[in-house]
Amino acid sequence: MTTLETPRHRVEGLGSAHSGVQQFWRLRVSGVALGFLSVWFAYVAIGLIGANQVSVLAFLQHPLNAVLMGSFMLLSAYHMTLGLREVIEDYVHTNGFKIFLMLLSRVFGFAIAIGAVVALLRITIA
Protein backbone atom coordinates (compact mmCIF):
# COMPACT_ATOMS: atom_id res chain seq x y z
CA MET A 1 0.00 0.00 0.00
CA THR A 2 1.46 3.34 -0.96
CA THR A 3 1.31 6.31 1.31
CA LEU A 4 1.87 9.97 0.71
CA GLU A 5 3.94 10.39 3.87
CA THR A 6 7.63 11.13 3.54
CA PRO A 7 10.08 8.73 5.19
CA ARG A 8 11.06 11.45 7.67
CA HIS A 9 7.40 11.98 8.60
CA ARG A 10 6.94 8.26 9.27
CA VAL A 11 10.05 8.11 11.46
CA GLU A 12 9.27 11.21 13.52
CA GLY A 13 5.60 10.37 13.88
CA LEU A 14 4.64 13.99 13.58
CA GLY A 15 1.18 14.69 12.34
CA SER A 16 -2.11 16.20 13.23
CA ALA A 17 -2.93 16.39 16.92
CA HIS A 18 -6.64 15.95 16.06
CA SER A 19 -7.67 18.53 18.66
CA GLY A 20 -8.80 21.31 16.33
CA VAL A 21 -12.05 19.65 15.30
CA GLN A 22 -13.20 19.23 18.88
CA GLN A 23 -12.58 22.90 19.68
CA PHE A 24 -14.25 23.90 16.40
CA TRP A 25 -17.42 22.02 17.29
CA ARG A 26 -17.42 23.26 20.88
CA LEU A 27 -17.26 26.84 19.64
CA ARG A 28 -20.03 26.28 17.10
CA VAL A 29 -22.39 24.43 19.45
CA SER A 30 -21.91 26.94 22.26
CA GLY A 31 -22.40 29.76 19.74
CA VAL A 32 -25.69 28.33 18.49
CA ALA A 33 -26.92 27.76 22.05
CA LEU A 34 -25.90 31.30 22.95
CA GLY A 35 -27.82 32.57 19.93
CA PHE A 36 -31.05 31.14 21.28
CA LEU A 37 -30.32 32.24 24.83
CA SER A 38 -29.37 35.73 23.63
CA VAL A 39 -32.76 36.11 21.97
CA TRP A 40 -34.40 35.11 25.26
CA PHE A 41 -32.13 37.48 27.19
CA ALA A 42 -32.86 40.41 24.85
CA TYR A 43 -36.61 39.77 25.12
CA VAL A 44 -36.37 39.67 28.92
CA ALA A 45 -34.13 42.73 29.15
CA ILE A 46 -36.47 44.77 26.95
CA GLY A 47 -39.45 43.56 28.96
CA LEU A 48 -37.84 44.58 32.24
CA ILE A 49 -36.97 48.13 31.13
CA GLY A 50 -38.39 50.51 33.70
CA ALA A 51 -39.17 47.74 36.20
CA ASN A 52 -38.23 48.23 39.82
CA GLN A 53 -35.70 46.07 41.63
CA VAL A 54 -38.33 43.96 43.39
CA SER A 55 -39.98 42.87 40.14
CA VAL A 56 -36.60 42.01 38.56
CA LEU A 57 -35.66 39.92 41.60
CA ALA A 58 -39.08 38.24 41.52
CA PHE A 59 -38.56 37.46 37.84
CA LEU A 60 -35.18 35.85 38.53
CA GLN A 61 -36.56 33.84 41.45
CA HIS A 62 -38.81 31.91 39.09
CA PRO A 63 -37.06 28.54 38.54
CA LEU A 64 -37.27 28.51 34.73
CA ASN A 65 -35.93 32.05 34.46
CA ALA A 66 -33.13 31.28 36.93
CA VAL A 67 -32.07 28.19 34.95
CA LEU A 68 -32.13 30.07 31.65
CA MET A 69 -30.17 33.00 33.11
CA GLY A 70 -27.64 30.62 34.69
CA SER A 71 -27.26 28.78 31.39
CA PHE A 72 -26.78 32.07 29.58
CA MET A 73 -24.10 33.23 32.00
CA LEU A 74 -22.20 29.93 32.14
CA LEU A 75 -22.33 29.40 28.40
CA SER A 76 -21.15 32.97 27.82
CA ALA A 77 -18.14 32.44 30.09
CA TYR A 78 -17.36 29.09 28.42
CA HIS A 79 -17.68 30.51 24.90
CA MET A 80 -15.51 33.49 25.88
CA THR A 81 -12.81 31.16 27.21
CA LEU A 82 -12.86 29.07 24.03
CA GLY A 83 -12.66 32.17 21.86
CA LEU A 84 -9.78 33.61 23.85
CA ARG A 85 -7.95 30.30 23.60
CA GLU A 86 -8.28 30.34 19.83
CA VAL A 87 -7.04 33.92 19.59
CA ILE A 88 -4.08 33.16 21.85
CA GLU A 89 -3.17 30.03 19.86
CA ASP A 90 -3.31 31.94 16.58
CA TYR A 91 -1.58 35.19 17.48
CA VAL A 92 0.82 34.56 20.38
CA HIS A 93 4.00 32.89 19.19
CA THR A 94 6.12 32.74 22.36
CA ASN A 95 5.49 29.39 24.05
CA GLY A 96 5.92 30.55 27.67
CA PHE A 97 3.74 33.61 27.19
CA LYS A 98 1.17 31.50 25.32
CA ILE A 99 0.90 29.06 28.24
CA PHE A 100 0.63 31.92 30.72
CA LEU A 101 -2.16 33.60 28.73
CA MET A 102 -4.02 30.30 28.31
CA LEU A 103 -3.95 29.71 32.06
CA LEU A 104 -4.93 33.30 32.75
CA SER A 105 -7.89 33.13 30.35
CA ARG A 106 -9.10 29.88 31.93
CA VAL A 107 -8.84 31.29 35.45
CA PHE A 108 -10.59 34.47 34.33
CA GLY A 109 -13.44 32.54 32.67
CA PHE A 110 -13.78 30.28 35.70
CA ALA A 111 -13.88 33.29 38.06
CA ILE A 112 -16.58 34.96 35.98
CA ALA A 113 -18.65 31.76 35.90
CA ILE A 114 -18.35 31.21 39.66
CA GLY A 115 -19.16 34.85 40.40
CA ALA A 116 -22.22 34.76 38.16
CA VAL A 117 -23.52 31.52 39.67
CA VAL A 118 -22.98 32.77 43.23
CA ALA A 119 -24.81 36.01 42.44
CA LEU A 120 -27.70 34.13 40.84
CA LEU A 121 -27.92 31.71 43.75
CA ARG A 122 -28.00 34.60 46.22
CA ILE A 123 -30.91 36.09 44.26
CA THR A 124 -32.89 32.87 43.93
CA ILE A 125 -32.41 31.70 47.50
CA ALA A 126 -33.15 35.07 49.14
Which domains, ranges and CATH numbers included, belong to the chain?
Answer: 18-125 (1.20.1300.10)
**Residue 85: count of CB within 10 angstroms of its CB:** 18
Tens place of pLDDT for every residue, the chain, 126 residues?
566 667 766 666 665 655 678 888 999 999 999 999 999 999 999 999 999 999 999 999 999 999 999 999 999 999 999 999 999 999 999 999 999 999 999 999 999 999 999 999 999 987
User: Which stretches of the chain are DSSP H helices?
Assistant: 7-12, 20-47, 53-61, 63-91, 95-125
Query: What φ, ψ does residue 93 adopt, rounded to 5°?
Result: -110, -10
**Rounded distance between C-alpha atoms, residue 85 and residue 89, angstroms:** 6
What pLDDT is stored for residue 34 in this prediction?
97
- Which residues have C-beta within 8 Å of that of residue 44, sequence separation ≥ 6? 59, 65
pTM for the whole structure: 0.81
**Rounded distance between C-alpha atoms, residue 41 and residue 47, angstroms:** 10
